[in-house]
Structure 1
Amino acid sequence: MKPLSIVVITLNEEKRIARLLEGLSTQTYQNFEVIVVDSNSDDATCEVAQAYQASIPELTIHKMEKRGVSLGRNIGASLAKNERLLFLDADVCLKPDFIFNALTQLDDKKLEVAGVYMGSKGLPMAHRVGYSLFNFGLFLTQYTFPTAVGACIFSTKRAHKELQGFDEAITLCEDCDYVKRASQTWRFRFLPMTFEFDPRRLDQDGLFKMGATYLKANVRRFFFGEMRSNEMEYKFGHYSEQK
């Protein structure tokens, strides 16, 4: 099993980054590096991450002067020293065997780029229903018009380079564009496993509002192409309430 480079993008995540790094430090498979790319946070995100260097020896922190999801992922990929890449958001929570199981499946299925379904363990019934519907949409579209959850995407340096990375001009659904372009060269699939992440996105935006936003965005993408002129404004890091 080959080594892995994990790119984590952050923006004001001092209250969440520890959970992700703690989960990474206890993975059953440990042959990986972690690159935290911070979008010039106003809080102690970098300091909290720095505290995990003892439990994650190959942990580096890069602080950008500018902010941007795609920019952060692209910088992280450029700093990565391993061929296999995993892009994560800071509010993700992984089971101890997540990396081992994922890398095993990627090798078995010979996938360059792959997505992972969203888990809803312990969440209210409304959230679980919403996640199930969203995952069903991910499952169906992977064969024709792939979409993805940017909080957890596997790739490779080769694929990332040929795709010229995430499109930094796209204002919404840059993750969906990435896997869509990848599927034009390689077979893209979702791995039959899940990751957990903080439900603040649903709590703050509302289940139906958020679902409608992404449905509208992907329908628009299907008919009119990618959004590069802020046609549907959706800001990175706008979840201000910390739980």
Structure 2
Amino acid sequence: MEPISVVIITLNEEKRIGRLLDDLYQQTHQDFEVILVDSNSDDATRDVADSFKNHLPALTVHRMETRGVSLGRNTGASLANFERILFLDADVRLSPDFLEKSVKELNEKSLDVAGVYMGASSLPTIQKLSYGAFNAGMFATQFFFPTAVGACIFSTRTAHQRLNGFDEKITLCEDCDYVRRASKIMRFRFINQAFQFDPRRLDQDGLFATGLVYLKANVRRFFFGEMRNNEMEYKFGHYDEQK
């Protein structure tokens, strides 16, 4: 089974990064490296990550002076040693067989770039319904106007280079832009796997408000193209809740 370069972007994630790194430590597929790209966190994110180097020997922690989601992902991809890349956010949780099942499905379907659905097994009913609606939307649009959640996207070094990476001028829906461009020149689909997604974004910004923002953003993208002039401002790492 092919090796994977796991790229994780962080900003002030000392309360969460350990959970994700522990999930990776427990994976049934262990042929991977972890490249953690930290956007100059003000907390102990890098210290927590460093504490896992005995458990994850192929772990490197890279510090960026400049903050940015796309910049972090592109930086991580440039440091990757393997062809297959998995981009993750720090607040993601993975089941122990996630990598094994995902790689198998990626190879069976010959996918270059792939989205992953959001799981909500431990969340309240209203959030399960919301995640379900979001997943249904991603499933339907993958055939004509692909979207995806940047917190968990599979790609390859070849695909990433052909796409010139994530567009660093886009602050909202840069992940959707990435998979949309990918779908035009290579094989893209969603795989039938799920990652657990921390609901803090919905809790802090509001379930309805968050859904409305992304609905408006994607309608705007569909009719007028990508947002490169900060038409809808989005701040990286603005979440205060750190349970």
Aligned length: 243
Q: Deviations over 1:22-72 (max 9, x none)?
A: 000010000000000000100000000000001101000000000000000
Aligned ranges 1:20-39 → 2 under 5 Å: 20-39=20-39
Sequence identity of aligned pairs in percent?
67
| Superposed CA offset, 1:138-171 (max 9, x none) | 0000000000000000000000000000000112
| TM-score calculated relative to the size of structure 2 | 0.99
| Aligned mates of 1:189, 1:106 — CA distance in 2 | 9
Asked if 1:8 is matched to 2:8, the reply is: yes
Describe the SS at the equivalent of 1:184: helix
The one-letter code sitting in structure 1 at the alignment partner of 2:22 is E
CA distance in 2, matches of 1:199, 1:19: 15
Shift in Å at residue 187 of structure 1?
2.2
Q: Which runs of 5+ in 1 are unaligned?
A: none
1:171 paired with 2:196, answer no
1: CA distance between counterparts of 2:122 and 2:36?
A: 27
How far does residue 229 in structure 1 lie from its aligned partner after superposition? 1.0
SS at match of 1:189: strand
Aligned to 1:205: 205
For residues 86 and 187 of structure 1, the distance between their equivalents in structure 2, rounded to whole angstroms, comes to 16
Unpaired runs of 5+ residues, structure 2, are: none
* 2:58 is the counterpart of 1:89: no
| Matched ranges for 1:87-166 at <5 A | 87-166=87-166
Q: CA–CA distance in 1 between the matches of 2:136 and 2:197?
A: 18
Displacement after TM superposition at 1:194 (Å): 0.6
> What's the counterpart of residue 68 of structure 2?
68
**SS in structure 1 at match of 2:62:** strand
Q: Which runs of 4+ in 1 moved over 6 A?
A: none
CA-atom RMSD in angstroms: 0.5
- The secondary structure found in structure 2 opposite 1:237 is coil
CA–CA distance in structure 2, aligned partners of residues 194 and 171 of structure 1: 25
User: Within 2, Cα distance between the matches of 1:184 and 1:124?
Assistant: 37
What is the TM-score of this pair, normalised by structure 1?
0.99
Structure 2: distance between partners of 1:37 and 1:193:
25
